[in-house]
Amino acid sequence: MVMEIEEKVIEAKKASIILASVSTDTKNAALEAMAKALDDNRDQILAANQKDIEAAEKLRRKGELSQALVDRLKVSDSKISGMIDGIRDVINLKDPVGQTMDALELDEGLELYKVSCPIGLIGVIFEARPDVVPQVMALCLKSGNATIFKGGSEALNSNRVIFDLLNQAAESVKGMTKGAFQLMETREEVNDILSMDAYIDLLIPRGSNAFVKYMQNNTKIPVLGHADGICHVYVDDEADLKKAYDVCFDSKAQYPAVCNAMETLLINAKIAEKFLPKMARMYDEACVEMRCDDASFKILEEIDFIKSAGRATEDDWRTEYNDLILSIKIVNSMEEAIEHINNYGSHHTDAIITENDLRKKRFTDLVDSSSVMINASTRFADGFRYGKGAEVGISTNKIHARGPVGMEGLLIYKYILVGNGDKVADYVGPEAKKYTHRRLNKIACDALSRK
């Protein structure tokens, strides 16, 4: 089994070198073929997904699978349309490979170029969500990266059908590299992949907190991702309450089973009694369970219509629910809110609702998160919504890539030096030539032809 996996990985690694030089037109044609394959085979995808859903529901009833995981697993006709739109959005993005990022003249006729290039072979390990496959494959293909996919067993049928459709469509296009995309399906293959640091250049895990932490703790391969999505919204005492109701409701209830949904609502004490009752009614009607600190519970316990308010524990401030559950805390100032966010949050996405421009700036300066929202829902923290076509994941790392990661997170660069028989010896000694180190205004390396 290990040898079979290693053969697949080696094949993909070799293909990654060739894929890096495939033309833009060929890559776009492959992407269009992938989009068409999904559109033409909707019934096949939905049938495969239904098998996974039925099996997952049985496990959920036994308590072996969470409702949040079942929700992530579901594929609908509209989700397929979203997959197709995401692929076609990537087609419209500029090819990022081979772009000159910087150009410097070392001396006359000796020019140094910093040029973007693919990372190489990306390993994507994910739970539940079958829509990860088209999102990531589209971005990796356009950015010239080969990819190993390992999905969760709960989405086995969905992943297999979607991957096969996409891979066959891409490889049917003349000029496309064969073997650049591989699918692995058994649980044992995860640990095998984690040990293949000689071949795999970057790992992107998509799944639960425990799942991502396991990846980070058990491999030498660089890992791009986030372990938690503990997101906050702070409602300031100078907030427009209409905006606050809209943003706070959307951030929690629009789709709670994702990492950019709000988990903790922070409310300034000066407006709590005015704001919280109506907000709680909206949550109550949406079946949101509210876990309150002493101050917010005191406001809500006297309101007869509130059915789902209870007491918060210390653990609630550190919990990513991925469900219709929300912790609520009243704070005395924005500074207290910021301290709470930086202490308990996961540096993912946090928002402020205020009309005070100075507080907007101070909040964005001091909240140490990959995305900070002003008067907008945390749910906007998404690669597609950020105009990236799609995303390979959301990173809370502080190196390489941060926030919703699109193609820019799948690129690195190389230096290309163009000379004419130049040698270092001429620049050493008492009569050494001098470097000019003059910045060049060039959009491409003259020695290279763009695809």
Average pLDDT value over all residues in the chain: 90
Tell me, what's the pLDDT at 230? Answer: 93
Q: Which of 94-103, 283-292, 355-364, 401-410 has the lowest mean pLDDT?
A: 401-410
Tell me, what's the pLDDT at 446? Answer: 57
* Residue 156 scores a pLDDT above 80: yes
Q: For residue 444, name the pLDDT band (cuts at 50, 70, 90).
A: low
Q: Is 159 helix (H, G, I), strand (E, B) or coil?
A: helix
pLDDT digits (tens, 9 = 90+) for 2-32: 558 888 999 999 999 999 999 999 999 999 9
User: Where do the domains of the chain lie, and which CATH numbers do they carry?
Assistant: 2-101+118-224+401-410 (3.40.605.10), 231-387 (3.40.309.10)
Q: Is 321 helix (H, G, I), strand (E, B) or coil?
A: coil
Tell me, what's the pLDDT at 205? Answer: 85
pLDDT digits (tens, 9 = 90+) for 160-215: 999 999 999 999 999 999 999 999 877 677 778 888 999 999 998 877 677 778 88
Query: Kindly report the CA angle at 324 between 321 and 326, in degrees rounded to 5?
Result: 65
Q: In whole angstroms, how far apart are CA 436 and each of 86, 108, 314, 422, 442?
A: 46, 8, 61, 14, 16
Q: For residue 450, name the pLDDT band (cuts at 50, 70, 90).
A: very low
User: Among residues of the chain, what percentage have pLDDT more than 90?
Assistant: 67
Bridge partners of 395, per DSSP, are: 403
Answer whether 0.85 is exceeded by the pTM. no
- On whether the CB atoms of residues 105 and 160 are closer than 8 A, the answer is no
Q: For residue 60, name the pLDDT band (cuts at 50, 70, 90).
A: confident
Tell me, what's the pLDDT at 447? Answer: 53
Q: How far is the C-alpha of 385 from the C-alpha of 260, rounded, in Å?
A: 12
Tell me, what's the pLDDT at 386? Answer: 87
Tell me, what's the pLDDT at 2? Answer: 52
Q: For residue 378, name the pLDDT band (cuts at 50, 70, 90).
A: very high
pLDDT digits (tens, 9 = 90+) for 380-409: 998 888 887 677 778 877 777 787 888 888
Q: How far is the C-alpha of 338 from the C-alpha of 147, rounded, in Å?
A: 39
Place of tokens 């991702």: 225
Q: How far is the C-alpha of 437 from the C-alpha of 286, rounded, in Å?
A: 63
- On whether the CB atoms of residues 345 and 324 are closer than 8 A, the answer is no
Tell me, what's the pLDDT at 451? Answer: 41
* Residue 1 scores a pLDDT above 60: no
Place of tokens 């390396």: 445
Q: In whole angstroms, how far apart are CA 402 and each of 42, 76, 88, 395?
A: 34, 30, 24, 5
Tell me, what's the pLDDT at 119? Answer: 94
* Residue 255 scores a pLDDT above 70: yes
pLDDT digits (tens, 9 = 90+) for 298-322: 999 877 666 777 899 999 999 999 8
Q: How far is the C-alpha of 251 from the C-alpha of 17, rounded, in Å?
A: 42
**What average pLDDT does the segment 89-111 reach?**
92
